[in-house]
Structure 1
């Protein structure tokens, strides 16, 4: 399924996106190694529930542009999020964000709390939680030699990583696995993966805002797969303790890509959270 439908030029770069529905604006921010495909079983239901849902591929990801010399770190992606919302005429927004998308959402909420109506964090990176041990080993030992990887070797590497993101047998296989691998099945795709994603796996971007989380006042829901092997549940509990009033929801028998293990549950949680009254 192709979720994104259009392209938008923002701050001189092209982003693939989808903007449908009427009502309160909700923006969905994906994680890594991923793209907006991960929201395919969630976003249409939120649109149908009466919301304006905006979904896009981060710069350097999926169908968006992959500029060679452009910064695609979490900090740069946060600035680009601000530009994207301005281009779309969205003043205040609900944010639903996964993995590094959660770091982008948190950084935006810290910098612009008046613009964030509600914030949902799904198995997000935080504090010193990332990169995961498997990605840290790769960065330390193999990152500078990635150009030597054949397409088959790359597919095998990324497949092993993606299979760790789910708990449901067969959830990351067949057409689903192919969809996650598809953006990287070329030399440009492989290069972009390492230069625009892996090289920016850096906890500096989350550690530097850790002491600012206590200032957040918008409703926050933290949704987490109980068996997340990349972002252990302890980080979700730490976030819920540090963000005033944050609501922690743990999804049983789910991993890091909780929307693959439990799409109906994720959809229900998003829809219910968007109905939470605003207190400010």
Structure 2
């Protein structure tokens, strides 16, 4: 049975950044942006996005469905000498740049951190496009782990990335030591009727996902308080990977394949789990009763964690909050309570 569920709502007075945690943490690197990024990256002003984008590289990953290795985009740690890695998995139709404020914190904390792009999204080279269904995404992540990470990992999934993490942890438990869910979307039963759509309608729908007004609206749902002057810039960051020529076909392929349905897998997860939830989440239901019901179902081991605070769907964009998680909340062997 899961432990008694409690919540701790942190007031907005705690949300102001600490003077010890300045926003601009990274120095300007001598290198330039990778040439494979879409030219639209030049319109992005956020310094931390640019600095992290300079770290994106492509590494070859071999999967069964294509003859040549896929040049797969990720952000690698500067050092790989720890016993355990933290691997960051972005949400639906996103990229590793989603972790632009989190990744520097992890490095500062001495964590071996990887930010990976899920197959079909992000900045991998998909000129030879593999199937972008759940099983191929899982295989691709496993082969990346087996080829480069090669150690147990704390798998951190944001939004739909939590469903990716559940699916992966159940199929490859030896690769995952712990799980972290942030604004988890794990109770959506796939893409539903989209699997039955004619292709031309599916392509039309996916093209709508790309347009700027819809992305701007989605950004206002995902964040309660976007810093002044940042809404358009943040939207451009989230839209950047959509400018790659294979994005449309890859996304249609995913939508028509059925997507992630991990409802029946949740009870099979054995890893210690930390759940981070934004009480003001406007993407996944924010009603407190629903949150508690969600926790009751998803916390499947007695030493899982639950950290509820007043914030939105993407708390990992706010670095001083994530620092609290990094310093105090990663599950350890001795932890046996719910925060």
Counterpart among 323, 329, 333 of residue 267 in structure 1: 323
Match of 1:7 among 29, 51, 58: 58
Using the size of structure 1 for normalisation, the TM-score is 0.80
Residue pair 2:105, 2:319 contacting (<8 A) in 1 also: no
Alignment match of 1:219 (pick from 272, 276, 294): 272
Instruction: Find the aligned partners of 1:199 and 1:162 in 2 and give their Cα distance.
Output: 25
State the 1:216 CA deviation.
3.1
CA distance in 2, matches of 1:55, 1:28: 5
**Residues 53-76 of structure 1, C-alpha deviation per residue, up to 9 Å, x if partnerless?**
111212222211235642223332
CA contact (8 A) 1:240 1:247 kept: no
With over 3 angstroms needed to count, the CA separation of the structure-2 counterparts of 1:200 and 1:118, relative to structure 1, is same
CA distance in 2, matches of 1:201, 1:271: 38
Q: RCO greater where, 1 or 2, for CA within 8 Å and sep 6 or more?
A: 2
Kindly state the Cα deviation for residue 223 of structure 1 after the two structures are TM-superposed: 0.7
- Give unpaired runs (5+ residues) of structure 1: none
Distance 1:238 1:129, change over 3 A: farther
SS in structure 2 at match of 1:206: coil
Structure 2: how far apart are the matches of 1:148 and 1:71? 17
For the pair 1:229 / 2:282, whether they are aligned, the reply is yes
Q: Is the 8 A contact 2:179 2:272 kept in 1?
A: yes
1:156 pairs, out of 199, 205, 213, with 213
- Max Rg structure: 2
Selected match of 1:181 from 239, 257, 265 = 239
Distance apart, 1:89 and its partner CA? 4.4
Alpha-carbon distance in 2 for matches of 1:130, 1:235: 20
SS at match of 1:16: strand
Three-state SS of the structure 2 residue aligned to 1:117 is: strand
Shift of 1:47: 1.7
Q: Secondary structure at the match of 2:115?
A: strand
Equivalences for 1:85-96 in 2 at 5 Å?
85-96=145-156
- Evaluate the alpha carbon distance shift between residue 167 and residue 112 of structure 1 in structure 2; reply closer, same or farther with a 3 A threshold: same
Q: Is the 1:183–1:189 contact (alpha carbons within 8 Å) kept by the matching residues of 2?
A: no
The residue that corresponds to 1:62 in the other structure is 122
Q: Contact 1:237–1:248 at 8 Å: present in 2 too?
A: no
**Counterpart selection for 1:257 from 314, 327, 333:** 314
The aligned counterpart of 1:38 is: 98
Q: Tell me the CA shift for residue 169 of structure 1.
A: 3.9
Q: TM-score, normalised by structure 2?
A: 0.68
Q: Distance in 2 between matches of 1:235 and 1:64?
A: 35
Q: 1:39 to 1:143 in 2, by over 3 A?
A: farther
Q: Structure 1 pair 145/104, CA: closer, same or farther in 2 (3 Å)?
A: closer
Aligned residue pair count: 267
CA contact (8 A) 2:74 2:116 kept: yes
**Residues 41/147 of structure 1: CA separation in 2 closer, same or farther (3 Å cut):** closer
- Correspondence 1:167 to 2:220: no
Say which of 117, 123, 127 aligns to 2:183: 123
For the pair 1:29 / 2:82, whether they are aligned, the reply is no
Distance 1:190-1:158 versus aligned 2 partners, 3 A rule: farther
Q: Could you tell me how far apart the structure 2 residues matched to 1:38 and 1:84 are?
A: 19
Aligned-residue CA RMSD (Å): 3.3
Q: Is the 8 A contact 2:85 2:149 kept in 1?
A: no
